[in-house]
Structure 1
Amino acid sequence: MRLTQQNPELAAYLVADEVIDHDHPLVRTLAAKLASDVPDVYSYAKLAYEFIRDTIPHSQDSGDMRVTWRASDVLEQGTGICYAKSHAYAALLRAEGIPAALCYQRLADDDGSNPAIHGLVAVKLPGEREWARQDVRGNKPGVDAQFSLGEERLAWKARPEFSEVDYQVLYDVPHPVVLAALKAAPDRPYLWRTLPTEL
């Protein structure tokens, strides 16, 4: 099922690196298992999305103090915030030859205070003209993100009236401020105090 022929312009969105380490045996094994359960790349992208969204708890929701940032660590430890879960989803996509980009929103409270950057993944499937943004953060009361190639079904929509932003850049690697915050945090409470507020 793995895609092998891609547009050269998409090559950067297939690379394995320190963060999106889809060459790691744990990532490869999980990708192969998920791929064996579905008939095509579209079904795989959805299944991998649901796996990360539903079986890897968001550490803020679960109360997990650990901070993960490498895709294989997210899968091994079973925890992560939105950025880390996005890295894991991107790795599962790239492991099957599906271009995956990282992208971001700036979200805030209803009065525009307490801004923070939120991490997403954009997927480019064969035959689709546009990238489709996906949010693997994890659902909870008031949050109902779903895999969608049409209308976006993200956890939150950016509200310009509250100084929220949908950043349009598609990154092949994590944004440096995001990765720096993850790597510097000894635990999640520290990370929560040092989340990036803008890109």
Structure 2
Amino acid sequence: MNLIICSQDLSSYLEETEIINFRHPSVSKKIAEIQKTGKNKQEWAQLAFNFVRDEIQHSFDSDSTQITISASDALEYLEGICFAKAHLLAAMLRGMGIPTGFCYQRVTRKGTPDSGYALHGLNAIYFAEIDTWFRVDPRGNKPGVTSEFSITPEKLAYPIRTELDEIDYPYVYNKPLGKVVLSMEESIDCKELFFKRPELI
């Protein structure tokens, strides 16, 4: 896919916010651990991706009621839905000086159109050394859903089925979508959030 970079200011993909809070002590500690293990930015990025994908439980998979939004909350509780996991991965990578943005897909909630649709969140990463943006999906693997850290080809969690009106949006945002964050803030628990997620960008 030809990605559309929404901000031409590359530094905006390195910004810290209340949600992408990479200077929080727990996040900065995890960043330091990864930087000690990896040798360069590509290794750091892959280690961070694997950590978020494998060690941060997807709240829907575990039938949790907990909603985490910020990077530090997702790390503290070791769980979050796709949006929170993307917030954490972005925070970790930005804290390592790796520009990272936010991407979205429109997917069916439970695999069929009659189950309704919701946005799914993932990340795009920029490696200056090869002048390339590429997407990764830290959602978390489960039977029938697998993603990998891959510059090319993409290995994302959800193959988009346009025949079912699913949409793969090409945009790379420098901030999480406001409507996504609002849906998380206004939901009582994850069970409500499952149905309250926005359907379109």
TM-score by length of 2: 0.92
Please report how far the alpha carbon of residue 128 of structure 1 lies from its aligned counterpart in structure 2 after TM superposition.
2.6
Equivalent residue for 2:198?
A: 196
Listed as ranges, the matches of 1:23-42 within 5 Å are 23-42=23-42
One-letter amino acid of the counterpart of residue 197, structure 2: L
**CA deviation profile, 1:169-193 (whole Å, cap 9, x unmatched):** 1111110110000111121011112
**CA deviation profile, 1:20-48 (whole Å, cap 9, x unmatched):** 01121111110011110011110110000
Structure 2 residues without counterparts, runs of 5 or longer: 1-7
Listed as ranges, the matches of 1:3-42 within 5 Å are 9-42=9-42
Name the CA distance, whole Å, in 1 between partners of 2:95 and 2:35: 10
Q: Does 1:166 align with 2:168?
A: yes
Name the CA distance, whole Å, in 1 between partners of 2:122 and 2:178: 15
SS in structure 1 of the partner of residue 61 of structure 2: helix
User: Once superposed, which parts of structure 1, at least 4 consecutive aligned residues long, lie more than 4 Å away?
Assistant: none
CA contact 1:135–1:155 (8 Å) conserved in 2 = yes
125-134 or 157-166: which moved more?
Answer: 125-134
SS in structure 1 of the partner of residue 152 of structure 2: coil
CA contact 1:112–1:163 (8 Å) conserved in 2 = no
State the identity %: 39
One-letter amino acid of the counterpart of residue 60, structure 2: Q
109-118 or 37-46: which moved more?
Answer: 109-118
Name the CA distance, whole Å, in 2 between partners of 1:145 and 1:45: 15
One-letter amino acid of the counterpart of residue 90, structure 1: A
Structure having the larger proportion of residues in strand: 2
Equivalent residue for 1:137?
A: 139
Q: Does 1:89 align with 2:89?
A: yes
Structure 1 residues 76, 198: closer, same or farther in 2, change over 3 A? same
Equivalent residue for 1:43?
A: 43
**CA deviation profile, 1:81-125 (whole Å, cap 9, x unmatched):** 000000000000000000000010001234475111000000001
22-31 or 48-57: which moved more?
Answer: 22-31
Name the CA distance, whole Å, in 2 between partners of 1:168 and 1:157: 14
CA contact 1:112–1:162 (8 Å) conserved in 2 = no
Name the CA distance, whole Å, in 2 between partners of 1:162 and 1:112: 10
Q: Does 1:79 align with 2:102?
A: no
Listed as ranges, the matches of 1:173-188 within 5 Å are 173-188=175-190
Please report how far the alpha carbon of residue 9 of structure 1 lies from its aligned counterpart in structure 2 after TM superposition.
2.6
SS in structure 2 of the partner of residue 62 of structure 1: coil
